[in-house]
Amino acid sequence: MRAIEINDGLILTDLPAPELKEGEVLVKVHATGVNRGDLLQAAGHYPPPPGASEIMGLECAGEIADPGDTGRAKGEQVACLLAGGGYAEYVAVPEGQLMSIPQGLSTTEAAAIVEVACTVHSNMQLAGLKAGDTLLIHGGAGGIGTFAIQYAKALGVTVAVTAGSQEKLQLCEELGADILINYKEEDFAEVMKNKCDVILDIMGAKYLEQNIKALAMDGHLVIIGMQGGVKGELNIGRLLTKRGSISATALRARDLADKARIVADTEKTVWPMIADGRVKHQLSTTVPLDQAAEAHRLLKEGEVTGKIVLTVA
């Protein structure tokens, strides 16, 4: 099968199709989402968990080419959460990581929403986000942000976002964001001081001190990215005064049972929000699989709003 290999760049090559293990189906990939984790893996910083495919690609949509021992129907269209392997014509997927295609979406659009939906929903559940809360989302115009704004508004949450340009903030506003902060012009910690019940953070160390300042009483900071560094000073005294919590999470290394639980719960909660229009896909750009390097360049440069998807079949 055709697949992208990391070999002094991203090279389209011919590889053997994956062999199915117990409880897995073979999916013929129509489209696969591009995530920051793929950039990290291409740079050698994010090795796949033990037993996972060495190929990049954390989500895809397509059709079942071989149902293995699962009793699924050949040809069934599915969206898939992957531990890896999406940048290829075929991928082996544990049955617990299969979702239906959300009503009204194409497979290409579906491939843009699996990872963000599972990531945002599982983390907001961890943080106990609920109607009436105030949520701060960093990078509101990115793949995670554009989804998280709509998801939180559907839950009845007040949403604040940070972004680096007026254009990006305008997109956030169109998606429903209530409070718009240009981080190049304002200190978000001052604007949101003691106000945030939950913060969804992709910056890590660089924002740690400001995020703690922005937390409300019993607030919860959830860190899912470290674009601003790994090590930061934590003021435990300030955290204690607020009875605050910090969690740092990632989806990829979770075990099969944990992923199956998250996938089922995300489908149950988020897919209806898509079906009735409260949450719209944020697919912004499609790029053919053989131009994966160009897709990575677009994401790295940070000028894309929403998601980039590689089209395969």
Give the residue with the Cβ less far from its own copies, 3 or 222: 222
Q: Answer for the pair 26, 17: CB distance below 8 angstroms, yes or no.
A: yes
* Residues ≥6 apart with Cβ < 8 Å to 276: none
* Residues ≥6 apart with Cβ < 8 Å to 142: 202, 305, 306
The bridge status of strand 134-138 relative to strand 158-163 is: parallel
Among 77, 245, 285, 286, binds its own copies (CB under 8 A): 245
* Closest residue by Cα to residue 305 from 164, 182, 206: 164
DSSP for residue 282 = -
What minimum distance in Å lies between the beta carbon of 227 and its own copies?
11
Among 28, 121, 213, 254, binds its own copies (CB under 8 A): 254
CA distance 13 to 265: 36
CA distance 92 to 25: 6
Radius of gyration, alpha carbons of the chain: 19
Q: Answer for the pair 163, 141: CB distance below 8 angstroms, yes or no.
A: yes
Footprint (CB under 8 A) of its own copies, residues 176-215:
204-205, 208
Element (H, E) at 133: none
CA distance 189 to 187: 5
What minimum distance in Å lies between the beta carbon of 126 and its own copies?
8
Among 186, 235, 268, 276, binds its own copies (CB under 8 A): 235
Tokens of 301: 């440069």
Please tell me whether residue 40 binds its own copies under the rule CB under 8 A. Answer: no
Please tell me whether residue 39 binds its own copies under the rule CB under 8 A. Answer: no
Residue 274: how many other CB atoms lie within 10 Å: 22
Give the residue with the Cβ less far from its own copies, 84 or 244: 244
Please tell me whether residue 257 binds its own copies under the rule CB under 8 A. Answer: no
Residue 182: helix, strand or coil by DSSP? strand
Partners of 283 in the β-ladder: 307
Among 39, 226, 264, 304, binds its own copies (CB under 8 A): 226
Please tell me whether residue 233 binds its own copies under the rule CB under 8 A. Answer: yes
Please tell me whether residue 236 binds its own copies under the rule CB under 8 A. Answer: yes
Give the residue with the Cβ less far from its own copies, 15 or 239: 239
Among 12, 39, 52, 239, binds its own copies (CB under 8 A): 239
Among 23, 96, 176, 232, binds its own copies (CB under 8 A): 232
Please tell me whether residue 16 binds its own copies under the rule CB under 8 A. Answer: no
CA distance 238 to 214: 11
Only segment of 23-31, 94-102, 188-196, 231-239 that touches its own copies (CB under 8 A): 231-239
Give the residue with the Cβ less far from its own copies, 154 or 208: 208
What minimum distance in Å lies between the beta carbon of 273 and its own copies?
25
Please tell me whether residue 227 binds its own copies under the rule CB under 8 A. Answer: no
Give the residue with the Cβ less far from its own copies, 19 or 233: 233
Kindly list the residues in this chain that would bind its own copies in the complex (CB under 8 A): 204-205, 208, 223-224, 226, 229-237, 239-241, 243-250, 253-254
